[in-house]
């Protein structure tokens, strides 16, 4: 089973990226096998950034004594997203955790929304409005299509195991039709029960013409700690999607968002 042992965190000492680092520290906890790799990408070189990174590392180690993993860092210049993806591939990071300010403008493309659309690995976007760290309830958003690559659920299972979290599965029905009884629904159900083991709680089908609104309503009602989605941007069995819902959720979410690709 795929396990998370290396986490990549884009970092520049701002509040947004510091939140992401602290989330990564909490995520790793006392697991000695986890390595956190901070990456700073600059447009114009700042000679003080190395000391700032080292100071930040020392601070979080002091503030989070339960952390038993290791923290390293790498600095590069050029395009932010290109460098993050290059570093992720070079160091074989299992997960990227990136802070985001989000945006209410649907046409906006933030660095984080761009990353989740381009990355071919799991990414957790940490919004500034995110509350204290907790992963007790996870909501996995599932569409009406068959799960394209079942192996990606191994990451979700690893997270559920680490935190003994229950996984809710949510499908928003925004079109007329029968949901939950098709051959694809049955196949997905078997996949979920197999890959998520006893952490799989239940599958909810809710009607809402606005998928995004339906998702966020469910999150608030059920007090969900982590929202997860399986983007179909790199789908192999069906036609790949443009990622519009993934982008909107990244821009608007108020809880950490896990995109599993």
Strand partners, 166: 137
Q: How much is the pLDDT for 241?
A: 64
Per-residue pLDDT tens digits for 41-51: 987 666 677 88
The CATH code of the domain that includes 71 is 3.40.50.620
Domain boundary among 53, 75, 100: 100
Domain that holds residue 84: 6-100
What is the average per-residue pLDDT within 236-259? 83
* Long-range CB pairs of 42-48, under 8 A, 24+ apart, other chains included: 42/75, 42/76, 42/77, 43/77, 45/77
Q: Does any domain span residue 110?
A: no
User: What is residue 147's predicted lDDT score, i.e. its pLDDT?
Assistant: 87
141 shares a domain with 78: no
Would 114 be classed as within a structural domain? no
Tally of structural domains, the chain: 2
The mean per-residue pLDDT over the stretch 49-71 comes to 88
> 232 lies in a domain?
yes
Q: Poorest-confidence range of 45-54, 84-93, 194-203?
A: 45-54
The tens digit of pLDDT for each residue in 95-113 reads: 999 999 988 777 778 999 9
- Residue-level length of the chain: 261
Strand partners, 167: 138, 200
Q: Assess if residue 85 is contained within a domain.
A: yes
The residue among 100, 121, 148 that closes a domain is 100
Instruction: Judge whether 117 lies within some domain.
Output: no
> Does residue 154 form part of some domain?
yes
| Bridge pairing between strands 70-77 and 123-127 | unpaired
What is the pTM for the complete model shown?
0.93
Average pLDDT rounded to a whole number, residues 10-32: 93
Q: Is residue 52 part of a domain?
A: yes
In this prediction, residue 1 has a pLDDT band, given cuts at 50, 70 and 90, of: low
Looking at the domain assignment, is residue 129 inside a domain?
Answer: no
CB atoms within 10 A of CB 153: 24
- Asked whether the predicted pLDDT for residue 239 surpasses 80, the reply is no
pLDDT in tens, 197-232: 999 999 999 989 999 999 999 999 999 999 999 986
Other Cβ atoms less than 10 A from the Cβ of 132: the count is 6
Average pLDDT, the chain: 89
Select from 73, 100, 127 the last residue of a domain. 100
């Amino acid at each position: 089973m795929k396990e998370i042992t290396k986490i990549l965190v884009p970092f520049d000492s701002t509040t947004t990226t510091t939140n992401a680092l602290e989330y990564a520290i909490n995520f790793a906890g006392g697991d000695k096998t986890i390595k956190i790799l901070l990456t700073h990408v600059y447009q114009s070189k700042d000679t003080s950034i190395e000391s700032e990174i080292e100071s930040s590392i020392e601070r979080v180690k002091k503030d989070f004594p339960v952390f038993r993993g290791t923290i390293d860092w790498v600095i590069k210049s050029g395009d932010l997203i290109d460098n993050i993806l290059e570093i992720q591939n070079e160091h074989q990071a299992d997960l990227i955790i990136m802070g985001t300010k989000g945006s209410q403008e649907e046409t906006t493309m933030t660095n984080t929304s761009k990353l989740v659309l381009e990355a071919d690995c799991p990414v957790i976007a940490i919004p500034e409005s995110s509350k204290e760290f907790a992963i007790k309830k996870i909501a996995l958003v599932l569409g009406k299509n068959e799960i394209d690559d079942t192996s990606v659920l191994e990451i979700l299972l690893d997270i559920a195991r680490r935190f003994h979290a229950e996984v809710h599965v949510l499908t928003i029905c925004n079109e007329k039709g029968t949901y939950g009884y098709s051959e694809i629904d049955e196949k997905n159900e078997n996949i979920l029960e197999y890959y998520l083991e006893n952490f799989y709680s239940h599958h909810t089908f809710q009607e809402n013409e606005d998928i995004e609104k339906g998702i966020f309503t469910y999150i608030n009602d059920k007090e969900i700690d982590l929202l997860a989605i399986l983007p179909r941007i790199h789908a192999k069995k069906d036609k790949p999607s443009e990622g519009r819902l993934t982008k909107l959720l990244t821009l608007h979410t108020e809880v950490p968002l896990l995109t599993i690709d």
